[in-house]
Chain A
Amino acid sequence: MTGPAPLMEVDDLAKHFPLPRRGLGARGAVRAVDGVSFRVAPGEVLGLVGESGSGKSTVGRLALRLLEPTRGAVRFEGRDITAQSLRQLRPLRRSMQMVFQDPYASLNPRRSVGQAIGEVLRLHRIGDRADRHDRAAALMTKVGLSPADLGRMPREFSGGQRQRIAIARALAVEPRFLVADEPVSALDVSIQAGILALLRGLQAELNLAMLFISHDLSVVEVMADRVMVLYLGRVMEVGPTRTIFTQPRHPYTAGLLAAAPRLDRGDGGEARVVLRDEIPSPANPPSGCVFRTRCPFVLPACATEVPQPRALAPGHQMACIRDDLRF
């Protein structure tokens, strides 16, 4: 791939969670992520979509090494973070931060907002006491809150305000890479747009690279530069946002897009393809193409052949053996 040197390079990443042993047989495993590779350039937003069980949150956690991978490498600015000790990792943590779905669970209810932000700065040995307070105040302004609120407790804020605080805390250490895992899913729609606009603005201003995870396709469409579609821990399709949303080539991408409710559809939904059944268990994925059991375009060969990702255009890849499908 051409373009700037990647900030993050992920190669053949896998995470298998062992299952409890049953009887004398071999111990099974849930293949949450199974052979995922991608790159994120500095300042680029890569969107991750897929149903529950697709492995998108696991990929986000592996990218920050909040989970140990079963196999594969995660290189951040050229260094393999999966090969480093946790002590070696510590200075790198400053460059990589995360925003979670539930702003209620991610803030300590007994600490003021100022303490929550100050603690992150102190852990990373940034500034002295007075300097840290100034930085926290500046961050509050940056995320659209008042520095006067630093002394208040998390419960005094609404869900949207709490998510702003979580974003301020993540940005306190000036990261270059942010994993945002369903950052607006717990919020009312009228509040979501404000948080998304804030993230988008900060991303551009700070040249922040992001892994943006959401089950809401319209949210990913507006946030991401590129989109990766996951199914049962594998990449089905990856490409520029416009290509994925307007000319998808993988049947799963097309099915996912067709399922999303849209205001402009208004035809009662009769004409579109509804994906049948449900995502199978990652403990027992289908042979060959993992999507074949739900695919309306399945061929006999799909059961035996694991489709390899192939390039359709620069930056656009998909893993389907069929070449004749257009949506």
Chain B
Amino acid sequence: MEPAPLLEVRDLRTRFQTRRGVLRAVDGVAFAVDRGETVAIVGESGSGKSVTAMSILRLFGRTDRASIEGAILLHGRDGGVRDLLTLPEPALRDVRGREIAVIFQDPSASLNPVFTIGEQIREAIRRHRPAEAARADAAAVELLRDVGIADPERRVAAYPHQLSGGMRQRVMIAIALACQPRLLIADEPTTALDVTIQAQIMRLLADLKAARGMGLLFITHDLALVGEIADRVVVMYAGQVVETGRTAEILARPRHPYTRALLECRPERHYRDEGEDERLLRPIAGAPPRPSEVAPGCRFAPRCPMAEARCTAAAIPLIELAPAGGRASRCIRWEDMP
């Protein structure tokens, strides 16, 4: 299948007006998600990965005092293109849920405790697929079955507190799927779950994506999860994209020192038959810059073992490394990397 763009994010800049001044959380981010493709955004706290996701659907409240610039282009089934940033709020409300759905890390915060999960799924169906309102009851049960909830006829009457964290996340996925979105944004959907449940949810997401041909934008801090689900990766640091490309290539041969450091800081133990085992613990020195004090050049330079004077002299652009696959790095020394 010829890759067709579904979502294009161009030069996204999200700022928050705070008491201490302007916080530039996302500073010129660009990437695209094709139809049926999984793209992962990877970064640590403060990298701007979640703010990027929230910006796509303008999910900020008035008190956040956010300003979003750039372009977020959603390609329609009919070939039409809409910029979500210039869309009036009522039209954007139709996009939310119907075309793009979001699931978050903490399902308990997204579910209403006083309604049964069936009522909440039916509500989503009625709002986004009015034609199917008449058979919403049956559709809700089917959705619960699709997301792997056993005994869905009974569970549909359960309240959120009667379910485990893993079950609640499945319910969130069911609500997200209720309107048959073309793009699912999953923001750290398994971070609060046990590894066993995480593995189940990851498999569920991969299966649903394949079965329904959805695009998936998967946001995580864990590079190991990326390897299991994503076709392409966007690595973010201090509000910028520092590296992007196909998952296998990035994991095997990172072309930005931050990506490499992120891969290496996971603990590893190599067993030895004689003598002490080798225990690899390689933290990244220092801490990310505060958004208020980013240096003019490379933002990773203060923590980078490869940094030179020219790294901090001027802003570093995202350098295209190969014409195919969208491989790019924001490191002027990318060719010197081992």
Contacts and interface: CB of A to CB of B under 8 A. Distances in A.
B203 A263 contact: no
Interface in B259-310: 261-263, 265-269, 271, 277, 279-284, 287
B228 A268 contact: yes
Given A188-B45, A193-B281, A263 B251 contact: yes
Interface stretch (B12-20, B103-111, B139-147, B218-226): B218-226
Given A51-B196, A268-B206, A275-B196, A218 B268 contact: yes
B266 A263 contact: yes
A153 to B, nearest CB: 18
Contacts, number: 118
Given A158-B287, A189-B44, A192-B283, A52 B194 contact: yes
Contact of B224 (A221, A223, A261, A277): A261
A263 B225 CA distance: 8
A278 B165 CA distance: 10
A222 B225 CA distance: 20
B199 interface: yes
Interface string A176-199: 000000000000111111101100
A242 to B, nearest CB: 5
B321 interface: no
Contact of B281 (A197, A268, A269): A197
B202 interface: yes
Contacts of A52: 194
B279 A200 contact: yes
A72 to B, nearest CB: 26
Contacts of A279: 194
A326 interface: no
Given A52-B194, A188-B45, A275-B196, A218 B267 contact: yes
Nearest to B195: A259
A193 B196 contact: no
Given A189-B222, A261-B225, A222 B279 contact: yes
Residue in A188, A260, A265 with the greatest tally of chain B CB atoms within 10 Å: A188
A43 B164 CA distance: 38
B224 A215 contact: no
A274 B267 contact: no
Nearest to A277: B150
Contacts of A245: 269
Interface residues of A, number: 43
Nearest to A222: B267
A263 B196 contact: no
Interface in A178-234: 188-194, 196-197, 200, 215, 217-219, 221-223
A260 B222 CA distance: 11
B196 A222 contact: no
B283 A259 contact: no
Contacts of B206: 268-269
A6 interface: no
B166 interface: yes
B200 interface: yes
B200 A274 contact: yes
B164 A278 contact: yes
B312 interface: no
B200 A266 contact: no
B262 A261 contact: no
A215 B7 CA distance: 36
B280 A222 contact: yes
A192 B223 CA distance: 15
Contacts of A246: 271
A222 B269 CA distance: 5
B116 interface: no
A269 B268 CA distance: 20
B267 A278 contact: no
Given A52-B194, A218-B267, A263-B223, A190 B281 contact: no
Contact of A274 (B199, B224, B265, B266): B199
B215 to A, nearest CB: 18
30 contacts: A51-B195, A51-B197, A189-B44, A189-B265, A190-B261, A190-B283, A191-B283, A192-B265, A192-B267, A193-B265, A193-B282, A193-B283, A194-B281, A196-B281, A200-B279, A215-B194, A218-B267, A218-B268, A222-B268, A256-B196, A259-B198, A261-B198, A261-B224, A263-B251, A266-B251, A274-B196, A274-B199, A275-B200, A278-B164, A278-B197
Give 10 closest A-B pairs by Cβ, nearest first: A194-B283, A261-B224, A193-B283, A222-B267, A190-B284, A259-B199, A197-B281, A51-B194, A188-B44, A259-B195
Interface of A: 51-52, 158, 160, 188-194, 196-197, 200, 215, 217-219, 221-223, 241-242, 245-246, 255-256, 258-263, 265-266, 268-269, 274-279
Given A259-B198, A263-B227, 12 more contacts: A51-B195, A190-B262, A193-B266, A193-B281, A197-B281, A200-B281, A218-B266, A222-B267, A222-B268, A245-B269, A266-B227, A268-B206
